[in-house]
Structure 1
Amino acid sequence: MPRKLIRGPQRRTHPLVWFLAIICTIIAIAVIIAGIVVFVGYIVIHPRVPFISVTNASLDLLQNDLAGLLQTQISINVRAENDNQKAHATFSDIRFALRFQGIKIAELVAGPLEVNKRSYQDLHYVVQSLSIPLNPDQVEEVDLSWKRNVISFELKGNARARWRVGPLGSVKFQNHLNCQLKFHPSNGTYINSRCSSKST
C-alpha cells in the first residue's frame, strides 16, 4: 500500500525575526552608502594632504662649561598647513621630541587645531634647557660644533590630521616629522633645510 505523506502544522517565521532581518539590511545599506559618499567626496575635493613643517627656528642660547653641563634655548616655529580648497582640516595629538646627541631636551605638544581650507596655523615653541649633563664624547661633539660653526638637534614626532568629507564621514592621515635642525652657534641663525611631513 502506498504510504500517505502526513504533514504537521507549518511553522511561521516569528515577526521579531523578520524585524531584525529588515533592520540588519537597512544598516548594511546605510554603511555601503556612507562608504560611497566618503569615497566620492574624497575624490571630489581632489585632496592635498594636510602637513606639518618647521618654517623657522633660532638658537637663542648655547653655553657649555668645563663641568660638562650644557645650557640652551631654542625657538621653533611649526606650521600646520591645509592646502585643500574644499575641506577644512583638524590637527590633533601633536607631539614632538627635541633631542641633542640622544638626550631628550624637551617635549613639544599642542592641543587640537582647526585649520580652514587654503590656510595654516603656526605653533611657536620656546625651549629652555638648563644644565644638561654631557658625557665626554658629547662634550667633544659640542666643541667640534663650535669649531665647525654648525650644531644639530633632532626633532621627531607626529600629528594626526583629519578632513571632514560631507556629513557622514572623514578622511584621516598621520603626519611624521623626523629631521635635523641645524644652527650656526656663533650667531644662532637657523640653517634652513627641509623639515616637513609633506611627501616630495
Structure 2
Amino acid sequence: MPRLTSRHGTSPFIWCAAIICALISIVVIFGGIVVFVGYMVIHPRVPILSVADAHLDLLKYDIVGVMQTQLTIVIRAENDNAKANALFDENEFKLSYEGKPIAILKADRFEVDKERSIYNHYLVQSYPIPLSPTMMQAIDFAVKQDVITFELKGGSKTRWRVGPLGSVKFECNLSCELRFRPSDHIYIPSPCTSAHKN
C-alpha cells in the first residue's frame, strides 16, 4: 500500500520574522557589549549631592502656636567623573520641622561638567505654620538650648552622558538634619551628603 507524504515549505513570513528577531538580538547584544566596555574604560563615579551651606534668615513664633520661618539652603552637585558629564534631573527636596512639612525645594534639570561642581541656592519661605502643643514644647526647648533642627529629605535622578555609548542612571538621595542657632541664625555645619567619596 503506497505511503502518502506531505511536504510543506516554511512560509516566507516566518523566515522574515526569524531574520528580524536575529538581527534585533545581535544589535542588543552588541549594544550591551559597547556600553559595558565604555563603562569599564570610563569607570564613572556616582555624582554627589551635599549641603554646602545654610542660614536661618527668619524664625518667628507666638503664644498662639504659629511659626514663620525663612531659610537659605545651598546644595552642591558634584561630578567627580573625569570623562563624562553628569545630568541632574527631577531635583526635589522636602524641608520639615518635627515631621511637619514646611516647603518643597525644586530645581530645573541641569548638567555638571566633568570634574566640576554647581551650587544651587534655595530660598525657603514658609507660610504661617500652625504648631501642635508638642511642637510648641519642642520649639521652646530648641530656643532655650539655642539649637533648632529641621529635616531635609529628597534628591535627584542622575545619569552620565557618555556620547554614543548611552547613559548610566543612578539616584542621589539626601536625608539629614539641618541645625541652626536661633540666637544668631547661624548654621551649625554637619555632614549631609548623598554618598561618601572613594
Select which of 152, 155, 166 maps to 1:169: 166
Question: Would you identify which runs of 4 or more consecutive aligned residues in structure 1 move more than 4 Å?
Answer: none
Structure-2 residue corresponding to 1:147: 144
The 1-side partners of 2:92 and 2:45 are apart by: 22
Map residues 98-177 of structure 1 onto 2, 5 A cutoff.
98-177=95-174
1:14-66 per-residue CA deviation (whole Å, 9 max, x = no partner) reads 22221211111010010011111111111111221012111000001112111
The alignment's TM-score, normalised by the length of structure 1, stands at 0.93
How big is the shift at 1:84?
A: 0.2
The alignment's TM-score, normalised by the length of structure 2, stands at 0.94
> Contact 2:55–2:186 at 8 Å: present in 1 too?
yes
Unaligned stretches of 5+ residues in structure 1:
none
Q: Percent same amino acid at aligned positions?
A: 51
Instruction: Specify the structure having the higher radius of gyration (Cα).
Output: 1
The 1-side partners of 2:132 and 2:5 are apart by: 92
The 1-side partners of 2:166 and 2:126 are apart by: 43
> Contact 2:85–2:162 at 8 Å: present in 1 too?
no
Q: Secondary structure at the match of 2:52?
A: strand
Structure-1 residue corresponding to 2:90: 93
How big is the shift at 1:4?
A: 4.0
Structure-1 residue corresponding to 2:5: 7
Counterpart amino acid of residue 40 in structure 2: I
The 1-side partners of 2:83 and 2:128 are apart by: 48
1:104-151 per-residue CA deviation (whole Å, 9 max, x = no partner) reads 110001111111111122211111124211112211111111111111
CA RMSD in angstroms, aligned pairs only: 1.4
The 1-side partners of 2:24 and 2:196 are apart by: 38
Structure-2 residue corresponding to 1:185: 182
Structure-2 residue corresponding to 1:61: 58
The 2-side partners of 1:102 and 1:14 are apart by: 66
Unaligned stretches of 5+ residues in structure 2:
none
The 1-side partners of 2:128 and 2:16 are apart by: 70
> Contact 1:96–1:158 at 8 Å: present in 2 too?
yes
